[in-house]
Amino acid sequence: MTAGTQRPAMPPALPPTLPPALPSTLPSTLPPAPGPAVLGASAAATRALWPGLAMAALAVAFALLVNRYVPALSPAVVAVASGAALANLAGVRERFLPGPAGGGRRTGVRERLQPGLAFASRRLLRVAIALLGLQIALPQVLALGWQTLAVVTVATGLTFAVTPAIGRRLGVSPGASLLVATGVSICGAAAIAAMRESTDLPDEDDAAGALGVVVLYGTGAIALVPLLASLMHLSPAQLGAWTGAAVHEVAQVAAIGAASGVLAGAVTVKLARVLLLAPLVALTSYRHLHRHLHRHRPARGARPPIVPLFVAAFLAMVAVRGTGLVPAVVTDAVPVVTNVLMAAALFGLGTGIDVRKLAKGGRVVLLGGIATAIIAATSLAGVALLV
């Protein structure tokens, strides 16, 4: 470039384009971290469970010990009786302390035990019912043959259907009638607890009456069923089928079967009855829900499930066991775990029972006797004709 030529003027440099500053009020898209107050409340709620759960653990240990020496009494039955005894004799039920100006507060041991007992009687119960499905091996149940399965289905269905109607004639409350029908026709304490949970029956004394019926007549069956079978000259196969189809608790069926040499057949027939727990509880829950929705229209999205989730889990466990893929170590351990969880749940239920009210329940005992006679006579006639 020569000295006479001028350099062309360069355009002024543009300022860099920076993004606008973010406003200080921009909301965060991440949820805030839980503060100390939230974490403290969660820890306090967890600590509140331990007294009740520790008491339930002691009751379960006692129930297992009794069951070891008296096999006819299942851990669940012993646990609910222990809960009722503790509540009514040892002061676990709440006491009302009067305060100034007519006020007052509730106190007592039960106040500290309540969170853990409520957790056991609801959450642990649902897990126990679900695990109950792992005890049912469908191939063994189907191997019983259509004759035995027909006897089980007819006897169970008939007893479950007619017992509430008889209860109305006797003046028994609908809740107690339903629970007696469930316990007698299906599988005793486990069925009563499952039905009560799925239908939200509030009266614990109804459940206590039904459990008393199961203990009373199921224990009597341990002596009567083998005696009557001997008088009627039933074959071992017929005795096993009648025991499994008529006696209430699995432990009671096992006691009869072990004493009579028909343990395997009797327990397998009993498990076929246990399998009917899911459809009968689901059907009753659906009818209960249907009536509730007609009376109260819930908000959109607030409808409870038609089939209780723990019943669906029970069926899922039955299906899993039916695949044959469950290891033997698991199937061997499941009955023990189920008994422990069920006993803990029913101990929590037992602490809410008022024995004074239960003692006045003579009509419930009568209803239980009638229901027991129905399922015993129906299943005996079926066994005599078909097995």
Give the lowest-confidence range in 22-31, 182-191, 259-268.
22-31
The pLDDT, as a whole number, for residue 99 is: 42
Would you say residue 206 lies in a domain? yes
Question: Is the pLDDT at 24 greater than 50, yes or no?
Answer: no
Q: What is d(CA 154, CA 52) in angstroms, rounded to the nearest whole number?
A: 41
The residue with tokens 């000259």 is 233
Distance CA 206, CA 196 (A): 9
Sole residue written with tokens 């009648």: 242
What is the extent of the structural domain holding 344? 49-94+106-386
3-class secondary-structure state, position 359: coil
pLDDT value at position 106?
41
pLDDT-derived band at 105 (thresholds 50, 70, 90) equals very low
Within a domain: residue 36?
A: no
Q: Residue 26 pLDDT more than 50?
A: no
Taking the C-alpha atoms of residue 254 and residue 258, their distance in angstroms, rounded to an integer, is 6
**Least confident span in 14-28, 76-90, 112-126, 216-230:** 14-28
Name 104's bridge partners. Answer: 98
269 in any annotated domain: yes
Rounded average pLDDT over 109-136? 87
Provide the pLDDT for residue 3.
Answer: 46
Q: Is the pLDDT of residue 100 over 90?
A: no
Q: How confident is the model at residue 104 (pLDDT cuts 50, 70, 90)?
A: very low
3 occurs within a structural domain: no
pLDDT at 242: 97
Enumerate helices (H) and strands (E) in the chain, giving the number of each.
17, 2
Instruction: Report the distance separating Cα 295 and Cα 338, nearest Å.
Output: 37
Residue 339 falls within a domain, yes or no? yes
Per the structure, how many domains does the chain have?
Answer: 1
In angstroms, the CA 243 to CA 256 distance is: 7
The pLDDT tens digits for 304-329 are 566 778 888 999 999 999 998 899 99
Dihedrals φ, ψ of 96, to 5°?
A: -105, 120
pTM score of the predicted model: 0.79
- pLDDT of 181 > 60? The answer is yes
Q: Are 338 and 277 in contact (CB under 8 A)?
A: no
Any idea what the Cα angle at residue 240 is, between residues 238 and 241, rounded to 5°?
Answer: 65
